[in-house]
Structure 1
């Protein structure tokens, strides 16, 4: 089987999703050789160049023979530019705040041109476009913004020659805005040649082509200040420029409330207001890059009140080791028949009662729905759902349990005969957050979620991705997310006949079950003892305020699902129960 490299595409043989790179057919002949114009999909093995149109697949090869598509640009004759300006045009410049010195510095002049909008020869302002001293284009406009230009010009930014080797370059939306900056002492000011893209345009590539052709100037500059209009189209241009130049070196300006562009600022408020707006330009936020000052309030809160504790589990004895932390990913494992689901349900009922939580739950192993409710009802009332009439839940108690569960528990159900994907579950959970205000999400168990692992990912990489998604979801919505995951088959101790206490490392697939989790719990009970003592082992606590490593014993009443702490437990010792692997090393 062929690979992308067989077609000259510098990408790995296998990868997931879409990537962009340079095109082996046309990039070398372009002014900006490093612009990634080739879109490649690793899952489907297809590619397309958005510049020259070259397409193909690794299975079928090139779809068509590549033919370079080079546009022929025309250069105006140098004598097109004339150093004169009629009085009425000069007066218009002056009314816009542009002096004779700036007119001379930028090479503006006046002439007569036929304008399609006026259908006659018209006195116009002329803005010559130079690149490396060569005249590439001249744009013409009248006072009503009716415009024309030379035929087939090469896209270029106006006044770009004054920006070469400048530490700071200023990009505006129009020539008058760039001239305004020159008037106020910012000589390295240029303008895009076609104005701003419409806010609804599907692509802004044509409007930004002049920027890409001058990218060597912008790459050399240390800072790029974007001085665009503040209407929707101008903000679209600002966004597109940031995407092409990079947020790391871009700055944006603010104007007085009654001004939409920088020339407005000059006309209405004067030179000092322009200098202030430009000098106080703010760096564009870079995703993932922050300063501690942004977190001042949270820092002071931590200093004054210390690390916040999580919310109660409902059992003070367990709270000494583990509390419920909003915005955390919690992994719950345990040996078979240790009561993992029962324990999590009991803890969620406590959170509903004591913390006023609402919860979302995906628990297909406990379906049908009436049996899932029966499990919650036992924990709410403290009586068996079934059994002798004198000991089971009474009708009025059943109604009370139903009212509480209906208000506080939101059930996420799989479609009939189909295992749901994580994306589908999280979509339902997101609705539950917005619509019902849930504070916890329980996924029980993980293996009932459809695995959509791409062939290009290993199981370890896939589980890492899934757990990262869950952790991000927990933090974004400040949810306590609990995932019940079964361990792989454990070996009994030949001497005691007991299973060891499993750890997250024993869950099938990846060590990321521990590495990605905020907190890890493991349940264990003896199959040889004549009791239902369940030990809850706290094997990882990421934040000190949430708890500490250790374990707590509970008496599990299997008839009604109640958990009662067994008193006088001390710290973990090897004599108390079989040691979990890797536990002592942590």
Structure 2
């Protein structure tokens, strides 16, 4: 177990402590990860959770365990629970003596639908022109809430313990929690175990004081006002009490007391409780809910086929570029990665696909010159043809005017803007090596960046992302990389849907084939294999080679054999 303060001292950190209204104590200091000088970093002294408030520049956050890992500590420890900081609040007990209910107040309460027996059960009192709602906890008076008879104004005893109104009357395995005393009394009049929270739904201090009491209930029915404000405030309560036992009660009227004045009945209440909706996570579904979608995939298997690639034999393996996926392309220096990707982009333009590329290793004007040569297939094109070609390219291609390093947030913001304004849904990043991560843990930040690309570009914008990644250094350039050899975090290939590896023929080898493009991961179909390519130095274009034993092949032999021996075929 670790003492949070002792741990921070061992790091050489200096901080000031701030007490928060909920009783938590925070250590406030400069962020150790982003060069912060504004003391925007906070650590909870009860559990060690941390967060940097420089959200655009840093924004790191996590548990005490994560903090230790970020700092490179090999054997992280859990926080010492005995060292938890918790302020014990001293509450005051009410000393007010209630008056007997006046005839006018009794008539008012009866006009709200209440019987004499319910008024007596809840010990409703009066002081001057205010109705008194006494809050009892295990028979002891802990709070009084007041409501004006003539005007709907509320107040409570100062420094009183926040507890539940009517709690001592509730038995059984379920409880109904309401937003007001009249609502709790209305349910109780129908024989149901109901309580009311002491203040508005945003004030959840009662959860802490009633924690042990609430543990005995297997079901918690939340019956808040049936309006936008009432429903919005439920979720914080549900999160703390537990989704597995909370149910949202939707009433036929604004609240329970209004229902009591209309046609509330025992059977009606039972029906409402039976129809209450549990707070299942939105992402949690029964398999049968996907029946129609699964049947559609069998009836129309072409749904799983994406946009055709420039090479027919690659389509036989991948079945095209599918929206919502991320493809990683890697290969040694000069293996043809960028040339291959350039051909893919030209093919996307021909298919009228709005595409955006971050060509970080080649300036925009040189990259576009390369593309023009590829399209016109001549080293000396006429200027008028160049002019027309650039106009044609510009109909569907956007390019970031950045050469060199770029921060991940700047890149993602630009991509997101292009998707929203220009309808771009094909995104190319060449290469990951040029993404400048601001923190000290590049591997973690790489993973977060790739996750962000997938979440924002692939899923939210239903696009396809091509990401160029470099392999780790090997003993010699002729060593062919596998998907586990990509430089950086293993999350690069783990998160990707497709992994392609470009290889180039060694100079000393003679073969009609110049390059081979391997498919090392194909999440949707599972097929792996390769296609053989021949490179034309004039047009800078790859064409398929299909003579002899050099035809596209997949799932016929091990990847190791296919990589090491193919130049000798």
TM interval, shorter chain, is 0.7 to 0.9
2:311 counterpart (309, 315, 318): 315
Q: 2: CA distance between counterparts of 1:535 and 1:482? A: 18
- Paired residues, number: 505
Q: Could you list the per-position Cα deviations for residues 436-476 of structure 1 after superposition, in whole angstroms to 9, with x for gaps in the alignment?
A: 2222211101101102343xx4x554443333333333223
Partner of 1:431: 417
Q: Deviation at 1:321? A: 1.1
Note the residue ranges of structure 1 that are not aligned, 5 or more in a row: 15-22, 51-57, 59-65, 114-121, 198-206, 493-497
**Which consecutive residues of structure 2, in runs of 5 or more, have no partner in the other structure?**
12-16, 33-40, 47-66, 68-83
Spell out, residue by residue over 1:545-570, the C-alpha distance to the aligned partner (whole angstroms, 9 max, x if none). Answer: xx621111122223223222112404
Compared CA separation, residues 526 and 68, structure 1 to 2 (3 A):
closer
1:123-138 maps to which residues of 2 (within 5 A)?
Answer: 124-138=130-144
User: Cα 1:263–1:48, aligned 2, differ >3 Å: closer, same or farther?
Assistant: same
Per the alignment, in what secondary structure is the counterpart of residue 320 of structure 1?
helix
Q: Secondary structure at the match of 1:263?
A: helix
> Once the two structures are superposed, what CA deviation does each residue of 1:18-39 show, in whole Å capped at 9, x if it has no partner?
xxxxx9x999xx9xxxx99344
Is contact 1:248–1:286 with CA below 8 Å preserved after alignment? no
Residues 1:504 and 2:483 are matched in the alignment:
yes
Query: Does 1:184 pair with 2:184?
Result: no
Alignment of 1:361-380 (within 5 A): 361-367=357-363, 369-379=364-374
State the secondary structure of the residue aligned to 1:370.
helix
1:255 has 2:237 as partner: no
CA contact (8 A) 1:130 1:137 kept: yes
Q: Deviations over 1:462-510 (max 9, x none)?
A: 4433333333332232221111011123344xxxxx8243222122234
Matched residue SS, 1:365: coil
The Cα shift of 1:331 comes to 0.9
Q: 1:36 and 1:337, CA in 2 relative to 1: closer, same or farther beyond 3 A?
A: farther
- 1:174-253 alignment to 2 at 5 Å? 174-187=180-193, 189-197=194-202, 207-253=203-249
Range moving further from structure 2, 153-162 or 291-300: 291-300
2:321 to 317, 324, 336: 324
Match of 1:270 among 264, 268, 275: 264
- After superposing the two structures, state which structure 1 stretch, 137-146 or 98-107, moved more: 98-107
* Equivalences for residues 74-473 of structure 1 within 5 A: 74-77=92-95, 80=97, 85-109=101-125, 111-113=126-128, 122=129, 124-143=130-149, 144-163=151-170, 166-187=172-193, 189-197=194-202, 207-256=203-252, 259-271=253-265, 273-286=268-281, 288-306=283-301, 308-322=304-318, 323-354=320-351, 356-367=352-363, 369-379=364-374, 381-384=375-378, 386-387=379-380, 392=381, 395=384, 397-414=385-402, 419-454=405-440, 457=441, 460-473=443-456
- Quote the Cα distance in structure 1 between the aligned partners of 2:373 and 2:406: 28
Structure 1 Cα separation of the partners of residues 283 and 25 of structure 2 = 27
RMSD over aligned Cα atoms? 3.7
Which residue of 1 is the match for residue 543 of structure 2?
564
CA distance in 2, matches of 1:548, 1:149: 69
Tell me what 2:3 maps to. 5
Query: Would you say the 8 A contact 1:157–1:211 is kept in 2?
Result: no
Q: Aligned pair 1:488/2:476, yes or no?
A: no
Cα deviation code 1:319-372 (max 9, x no counterpart): 001221211121101122121111112112223323x321121111121x2222
Partner of residue 459 from structure 2, selected from 461, 475, 489: 475
> TM-score normalised to the size of structure 2?
0.78
1: CA distance, partners of 2:175 / 2:353: 54
Question: Structure 1's 182 and 553: CA in aligned 2 closer, same or farther, altered over 3 A?
Answer: same
SS in 2 for 1:378: helix
Question: Aligned partners of 1:301, 1:575: CA distance in 2, in Å?
Answer: 34
Q: Give the CA deviation at 1:284.
A: 1.8
**3-state secondary structure, aligned to 1:327:** coil
